Structure formats: C-alpha cells, structure tokens
Chain A
Amino acid sequence: MQVLDATQGRDILEELVEVIVDNRQYLSDVDGAIGDGDHGINMAKGFRLCGESVAGQSLSLSKALGTLATTLMGSIGGSMGPLYGSLFMGMAKSVKDKNVLDAKDFGDMLADGREALEQISDAKVGDKCLLDTLVPAIERYRDAVEGGDDFPHALQALRNGAQDGRDSTLDLEAKIGRAARLGERSRGHLDAGAVSCCLLLTRLADSTERRLEKAAA
C-alpha cells in the first residue's frame, strides 16, 4: 500500500508557500473584481512569513501545518487568517502522531481541517467562498478511496473536485464576505478564496503524488 512519509513536512509546506507567493498578483486581481483586492497580498504575506520561519528546520507534516496555521492566524488577520488558520490547524491535529499517511489518513486529515473551519464560520457550500472548493474536493477524494481507487487516483479526484468547485463559484451569488453586498452583481466572477483553496489543494495533491512516485521507484 502506498503511503506518504509524514516526517518531511517542511518540503510540502514550502511548496504550498511557493504556490501562494507565485500567485500573489493573480489572487489579488481575482479579489479586486468583487472584493477589495487584497487576497493575494495578505495570503502571500502570511505564507511567506511562515516559509521564512521554518527555513532549514526539520518538521513533521503536523508541525509544519501547525506552524502555518499559527502564522496565518497571528499575522494576516482578515477573514483568511482565521479561516485558513482553522483549516490547517485541524489538519495538523489530525496527523499529529503519524509518521506515514495512507490514502484514508490523508482524507481524514482534510475532513478534520474542514470540521475545524466550520466551527468558526457559518459559511456553507454555495455561499461563494473557499468551502465551494474544499467540500467537493474532499467528497470526491473520499468517494474515490471508498470506491477502491489507489492513492494517486484519489489525489486526481481531489484535484478534479477542487477545480470543479472553484469553477462553480463563477455563477454563484455571494452570500458571505464583502462580495455578498453585491448580490446579483457578484455573479460572473470567481471567488478569490475558492481560487486560493484550489491552488493549495492542487499543489498538495501534486506534492503528495510526487512523493508517492519517488517512494515507489
């Protein structure tokens, strides 16, 4: 059975930092259409700070995600600090004592992150927010694992779910956050949180898949 080595968390974290920092302008542009245009700035600031604080350290996946959570909650504020902070803290707690993750553990980690996020926010799927990416991604992943798919195929389901979820926000009317004040006029634009969540989940899946391939080789 294929498993992810959960002792090398910093490498995975650095990839997540990279994808957010690289997309700083893009995320702000997406946000600028219906929000206040600071999503990329704040996310990149928090992720960059986290990357700097863990440089050179050897961290488990749990420690790395926990550091990301506390950095985001303590440094970026806004809505995204508490939302992403809770998500990554829930994921960190989920894999606390694990040296390796199998496909089911990986799915549990995502589900525990979602649960932590939902404890601090009333946001729901359909509100035009990052949950529109997160929830279908997790569900497609879980369905794949339960249906007997192997780890890499389940990761592909995660990516597909995330991308479809992100795209679903295009036609949604925002129910939460600043864009909610736009009502109908929020349609026709992607939600910035859904976009950043898709970038993160896709990179997490890519990174995990590469590690599985390397372990298998």
Chain B
Amino acid sequence: MQRIINDPDNVVDDAIKGYLRASPSLFVATDHPRVLKYPDSPSDKVGIVTGGGSGHEPAFLGYIGEGMCDAVAIGEIFSSPTADAFLEAFRAAPHEQGVACLYGNYAGDNMNVKMAKQMAEMEDIEVKTVIARDDVASAPATQRDKRRGVAGEVMMWKIGGAAAARGDSLDEVIRLAQKAVDACSSIGVGLSSCTIPANGKPNFSIEPGHMELGIGHHGEPGIEVAPLTSAEAIATAMCDPVLADQDFAGSEVAVLISGLGATPVMELNILYAHIAERLEDADIRVHRTDIGNYFTSLEMMGATLTLMKLDDELKPLLDAPARSLAITQC
C-alpha cells in the first residue's frame, strides 16, 4: 500500500487537521472532533447539515461554505458518522429556523441521523431530512426508496444551500432539496478497487481488462461486469440506464461527471465528449457541465455520471453564487 499516512487507524483525524490548517475561512472546529462548521453562516437562516463516511473527498466537508451547507459530520472511512456527531452538527449550524439534514441513503447514516434527530428534539432543534436516492443501478425506479445516494447529493446540497441562503423556510428548503435529488439520475463505473488504509488490502477486485457498471461508492458490486474497451463504449453503457430512468428528452439538464479518485481528469473529459454527443442525439439540452473529482471513493478508478433535469425553479438555485472547497461560483 503506497499511501501518505501516519497511523492507518487515524487517517480521518489526521486529514481534518490538514483541512483546518489549509482553509480556515471555510472550516472551523467545533466541540466535537468529527464536526466542522462554516464560520460565517448567518444565524437567522435555515441550517444545512450533511455528513457521511470519509474517503469520498471532497464530499462531504468540501460542500460546506457560503450558499452551501453549514456544518458537516465526519465518519470513519466508508462508515457513517456517529449520532453524537450529527447532533453536534445540528447544534453548530444555524438552527433557530430549523435544520435541513441532507444526506445519502445508507443504513448507518439513516440510523445515526434518526437517533441524532431524536436527541435534537430534546433540545428544541427542529430537524427535517432529505435522503438522496439517485443511483439508478442500486434498485429499479419502482423501488426508488432502496436506491443509494451518490453524486446527485452534490446537486441536492447546491439547491438546498442556495434556497436556505436566500432565506427560504425549512419546509421550502426541504421541498426544493427533495425536488433536486428526485430530478437526478446517476450511475457509476468502476475500473479498479480501492484500499481502506486500516484494512491494508483492496476492498474487492475487478479483473484487469474489465469494468463494473453500476458500482457503488464503497465498491458495492454493480449490475454488470463487462470488458473494458473504449471511452465511447463506457459512455454508452453509462448513458443507457440513466436516460431510461427519467424522461429527459426535450429538457434542459445539468451534467456532473465525477472521478472516483484515481482517474485522470483528462479521461473524464474524454468520456464527456461521448456523453455530450449522446445527449445531443437524444434531444437533451445541456445547461451546464461540471467535470472533476466531486464525490470520490479513495483511489478507485472510474467515474460517475449524474444527469439532473432542470426547470425554472431549480435553474437559478443551481446557478446561485457559492463558495466551498468543491464548488465555487459567482
């Protein structure tokens, strides 16, 4: 294992130290070692909290900042933060107008958020949740409640964060964040495995010369293992299930291509060229495209594609100003 670490059991805490030193204008420590908050959130807006396991950087902490989330609960690698951490994040975010907790559909996160929400009620902090379920490979559209959340979460944070920043009520922030993630269909493709440092060996395996379509952010095996051929073939394999998931034809969309950690950004652009052609052929207009490492899985090779169907309500929120580690726009 070729890694820049100290004690493999302490990688998360060691990384937090670096983030705090590197970006003091975005991150400030709280009473909980696994909770960071944005220092300049106005107290009279709805608080936006997120959280999840580590190893997905810049998610989740890279999405706190101006016009984005206000506090983040940080878990072990690929493992939900504790209920204590989510509770402290609710306290650390603005909470007089309530807190919107926007996170992804994983069993551990669901349980810990549920427990934290109950504890927050004891302190008169109102918490409502939106649970991202955008991964089309994890369950059919008829069982959307079983789908896991992947890079569509980025869109959910952006929309929810922008709505809260302009002064929307908790119910309105929740409605819009839900609408945002419902408008997203995502899929991942994995070309190689990843290694949790404390585990020391690859989490799963993908045979050389193969790719796994529909792979999860923690290496949850996908829907199909296929020979690895060309970027064009990968683009087709990814577009087919995404385009079949919602009626995108004739709509405007936002496209998010995220690397899974080890794929060069150049290759993400090679992939996108084919995806863009495919969207054009399907009569889908691209309003904006973001390509980079937005939601990763340690050093996994591969990429995710997220397509978000836009309307007049979502578009201005997506384009609203933001300043965070992962997304900054004016």
Contacts and interface: CB of A to CB of B under 8 A. Distances in A.
B203 A82 contact: no
Most buried by B among A32, A79, A178, A181: A181
Given A78-B108, A181-B216, 19 more contacts: A32-B201, A32-B204, A36-B78, A36-B220, A37-B199, A37-B204, A38-B198, A76-B79, A78-B79, A79-B80, A81-B80, A81-B108, A81-B112, A82-B111, A82-B115, A177-B107, A178-B106, A178-B216, A181-B220
B146 to A, nearest CB: 8
Most buried by A among B76, B79, B85, B203: B79
Given A41-B196, A78-B79, A78-B80, A36 B111 contact: no
B111 A73 contact: no
A21 interface: no
Q: Is the interface of A mostly helix, strand, loop or mixed?
A: helix
Nearest to A79: B108
A75 B82 contact: yes
Contacts of B106: 178
A28 B199 contact: yes
Interface string A4-27: 000000000000000000000000
Interface in A16-70: 28, 32, 36-38, 41-42, 45
Interface of A: 28, 32, 36-38, 41-42, 45, 73-83, 120-121, 176-178, 180-182, 185
Contact of A36 (B9, B84, B196): B196
B294 to A, nearest CB: 20
A42 B76 contact: yes
Interface string B144-160: 00101000000000000
Contact of A32 (B81, B82, B203): B203
Interface string B207-243: 0000000001011110000000000000000000000
Nearest to A34: B221
Contacts of B77: 38
Contact of B199 (A41, A74, A78): A41
Given A77-B112, A181-B138, A182-B220, A45 B9 contact: yes
A37 B195 CA distance: 9
A81 B83 contact: yes
A38 B108 contact: no
30 contacts: A32-B201, A32-B203, A36-B196, A37-B196, A37-B199, A37-B203, A37-B204, A38-B76, A38-B198, A38-B199, A41-B76, A42-B76, A73-B115, A74-B82, A77-B76, A77-B81, A78-B80, A80-B108, A81-B82, A81-B108, A81-B112, A82-B111, A120-B114, A176-B107, A178-B106, A178-B107, A178-B220, A181-B216, A181-B220, A182-B220
Interface in B81-120: 81-85, 106-108, 111-112, 114-115
Contacts of A83: 111
B161 interface: no
Contacts of A79: 80, 107-108, 111
Interface residues of B, number: 35
Given A82-B115, A120-B114, A38 B80 contact: no
B75 interface: yes
B145 to A, nearest CB: 12
Contact of B76 (A73, A78, A120, A121): A78
A178 B219 CA distance: 10
B76 A36 contact: no
A28 to B, nearest CB: 5
Contacts of B112: 77, 81-82
Contacts of A120: 111, 114-115
Contacts of B114: 120
A120 B77 CA distance: 23
A6 to B, nearest CB: 28
B10 to A, nearest CB: 10
Contact of B221 (A74, A176, A177, A182): A182
A55 to B, nearest CB: 19
A73 B220 CA distance: 25
Contact of A76 (B82, B138, B198): B82
A81 B114 CA distance: 13
